[in-house]
């Protein structure tokens, strides 16, 4: 049994917030191997790069906002649930983007190795969403029989 569920929930949520704030910037702009598939991809139109830059900035802002929310005084449940709601935005957005016609998780000239049969971004999204769900459940109020 976990003794301090709210501390573990805050820690898990903060971890996802840091990954959210730094991940897109690192993967899409800084790390050479992955940035070559995004902001440093000469085949991308300037407008596509604009939208990637928009996603990078949005991810930074959402991660920082979630970290600020986690510092709220008062109920851990409200802080964790609010931070989790904020942090699901970019990860559910990434997965939902696959539903739009003509989209692809990667450009055809790249072949990213699968992680457990999933594209690395899809795998990361699933892991981070699972961590957020775990954090939210850790601070959920137990049901009392009527």
Structure tokens at 50: 């604009």
* Calculated CA dihedral for residues 142, 78, 76, 73, nearest 10 degrees: -150
pTM given for the model: 0.90
For 1-50, the pLDDT digits (tens) are 456 999 999 999 999 999 999 999 999 999 999 999 999 999 999 999 99
75 pLDDT band, cuts 50/70/90, is confident
* Arithmetic mean of pLDDT, 116-136: 96
* Arithmetic mean of pLDDT, 78-92: 96
- Three-state SS at 98: coil
Give the residue carrying structure tokens 């601070």.
139
Q: What integer pLDDT is reported at residue 107 of this predicted model?
A: 85
Q: How many residues does the chain have?
A: 146
Structure tokens at 127: 């892991």
Q: At what angle do helices 76-97 and 46-70 cross, to 10 degrees?
A: 160
- State in Å, rounded, how far the first CA of the chain is from the last one: 24
Residue 115 CB neighbour total at 10 angstroms: 14
106 pLDDT band, cuts 50/70/90, is confident
Average pLDDT, the chain: 92
């Amino acid at each position: 049994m976990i003794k301090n569920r709210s501390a573990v929930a805050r820690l898990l949520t903060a971890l996802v917030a840091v990954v959210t704030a730094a991940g897109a910037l690192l993967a899409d702009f800084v790390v050479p191997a992955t940035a070559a598939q995004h902001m440093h991809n000469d085949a991308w139109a300037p407008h596509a790069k604009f939208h990637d830059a928009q996603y990078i900035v949005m991810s930074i802002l959402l991660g920082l906002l979630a970290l600020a929310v986690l510092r709220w005084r008062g109920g851990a449940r409200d802080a964790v649930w609010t931070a989790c709601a904020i942090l699901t935005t970019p990860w559910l957005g990434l997965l939902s983007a696959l539903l739009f016609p003509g989209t692809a998780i990667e450009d055809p000239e790249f072949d990213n190795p699968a992680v457990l049969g999933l594209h690395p971004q899809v795998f990361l999204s699933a892991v981070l969403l699972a961590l957020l769900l775990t954090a939210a459940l850790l601070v959920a109020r137990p049901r009392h029989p009527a």
